[in-house]
């Protein structure tokens, strides 16, 4: 079969069009590959950035955990320091009494004067009484594992315990714990009926019948310790308020940001979903 020149030309035109179409397809594929390459690079950059942020977050969490542990250790040490000072108190009095007679140094005389002043010992006795409360409070919010399901009840119990030391019973019995104004002097017990721990109370009774103890020092002790109660109550009342609000929250993200140790980070989503 003889193919005419026109047919050959038409065939060549068709092949050229097909080749051009193939070239267009190749260019499109190359452009698509190039775009995919750019997207892949962008994705790799984002992954690298996220890995860096994750590493920074893990580092911050690790540092915070170290700080929490250090704080807990410091509080435990503070408890121990107070107890270690109180246990040999009488022996310290005898030691510095001898040092005063032998050395006649003003600094030693001041230490001896403080050791023989019952009011100074009251401060240590008070710290021995109240520091475990502060330590317990810290443990609740620096501990490991899920804490949120019982945090409110424990904070309320601590709050009520502190308030009961200086707040009138009728106020605590008639008002909701959140409604008590712990700053209001009208809600407070009289200065001489505020409770500072059984050991301190016994010392205060003895101080009242001892004419050599300055009444102003005893009064100053009561005021300072009362102010300390108010500071603790202020902190606990804020926690009470935030935790009580959390019971009506649909999303606990804000609460978990305020109290990160109530729930460990891997469980945040699970707690929110529940």
Is the Cα dihedral 33, 37, 42, 47 positive or negative?
Answer: positive
Predicted TM-score (pTM) of the model is 0.62
Same-domain pairing of 91 and 128: no
Please check the confidence at residue 18 and state whether its pLDDT lies above 50: yes
Please check the confidence at residue 137 and state whether its pLDDT lies above 80: no
pLDDT value at residue 71:
61
pLDDT exceeding 90 applies to what percent of the chain?
27
pLDDT value at residue 74:
66
pLDDT value at residue 97:
92
pLDDT value at residue 143:
54
pLDDT value at residue 103:
84
Contact call for residues 146 and 263 (beta carbons, < 8 A):
yes
Please check the confidence at residue 11 and state whether its pLDDT lies above 60: yes
Encode pLDDT of 215-226 as tens digits.
889 999 999 999
Encode pLDDT of 189-208 as tens digits.
998 899 999 999 999 988 87
Asked if residue 173 belongs to a domain, the reply is: yes
Encode pLDDT of 229-241 as tens digits.
999 888 887 765 5
Same-domain pairing of 76 and 145: no
Same-domain pairing of 270 and 253: yes
**Helices 118-142 and 5-86 meet at what angle, rounded to 10?**
160
Encode pLDDT of 147-169 as tens digits.
555 666 777 888 888 999 999 99
Asked if residue 9 belongs to a domain, the reply is: no
Encode pLDDT of 240-252 as tens digits.
555 544 444 444 4
pLDDT value at residue 24:
83
Same-domain pairing of 81 and 145: no
Same-domain pairing of 105 and 241: no
Residue 241 neighbours by CB under 8 Å, 6+ apart: 178
Asked if residue 195 belongs to a domain, the reply is: yes
pLDDT value at residue 251:
45
Same-domain pairing of 200 and 254: yes
Encode pLDDT of 57-105 as tens digits.
777 766 766 666 666 666 666 778 888 889 999 999 999 999 998 888 8
Asked if residue 172 belongs to a domain, the reply is: yes
Distance of CA 39 to the CA centre of its chain: 43
Identify which of 123, 134, 127, 130 has the alpha carbon closest to the alpha carbon of residue 71.
134
Same-domain pairing of 227 and 99: no
End-to-end CA distance of the chain: 83
pLDDT value at residue 38:
82
Same-domain pairing of 135 and 256: yes
How many structural domains compose the chain? 2
Same-domain pairing of 77 and 189: no
CA-based Rg of the chain, rounded to a whole angstrom?
Answer: 37
Lowest mean pLDDT, pick from 1-10, 11-20, 107-116, 263-272: 263-272
Asked if residue 132 belongs to a domain, the reply is: yes
Same-domain pairing of 195 and 261: yes
Asked if residue 176 belongs to a domain, the reply is: yes
Question: pLDDT: is 21 or 119 the higher one?
Answer: 119
Same-domain pairing of 176 and 217: yes
Domain with 104, as residue range(s), is 70-116
Residue 88 in tokens: 């040999």
Asked if residue 37 belongs to a domain, the reply is: no
Encode pLDDT of 118-129 as tens digits.
999 999 999 999
Same-domain pairing of 84 and 133: no
pLDDT value at residue 272:
45
pLDDT value at residue 241:
52
Which residue has tokens 């649909």? 250
């Amino acid at each position: 079969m003889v193919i005419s020149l026109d047919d050959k030309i038409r065939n060549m035109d068709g092949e050229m069009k097909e080749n051009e179409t193939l070239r267009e397809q190749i260019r499109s594929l190359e452009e698509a590959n190039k775009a995919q390459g750019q997207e892949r690079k962008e994705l790799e950059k984002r992954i690298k950035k996220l890995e860096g942020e994750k590493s920074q977050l893990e580092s911050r969490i690790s540092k915070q955990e170290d700080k929490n542990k250090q704080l807990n250790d410091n509080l435990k040490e503070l408890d121990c320091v107070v107890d270690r000072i109180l246990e040999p108190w009488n022996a310290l009095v005898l030691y510095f009494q001898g040092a005063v007679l032998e050395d006649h140094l003003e600094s030693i005389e001041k230490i001896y004067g403080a050791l023989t002043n019952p009011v100074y010992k009251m401060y240590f006795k008070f710290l021995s009484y109240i520091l475990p409360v502060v330590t317990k409070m810290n443990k609740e919010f620096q501990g490991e594992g899920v804490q949120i399901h019982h945090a409110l009840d424990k904070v309320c119990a601590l709050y009520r315990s502190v308030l009961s030391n200086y707040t009138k019973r009728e106020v605590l019995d008639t008002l909701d714990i959140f409604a008590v104004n712990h700053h209001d002097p009208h809600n407070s017990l009289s200065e001489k009926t505020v409770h500072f721990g059984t050991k301190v109370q016994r010392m205060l009774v003895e101080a009242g019948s001892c004419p050599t103890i300055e009444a102003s020092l005893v009064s100053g002790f009561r005021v300072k310790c009362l102010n300390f109660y108010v500071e603790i109550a202020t902190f606990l009342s804020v926690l009470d308020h935030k935790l009580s609000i959390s019971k009506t929250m649909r999303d606990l993200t804000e609460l978990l940001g305020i109290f990160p140790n109530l729930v460990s980070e891997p469980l945040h989503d699970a707690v929110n979903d529940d």
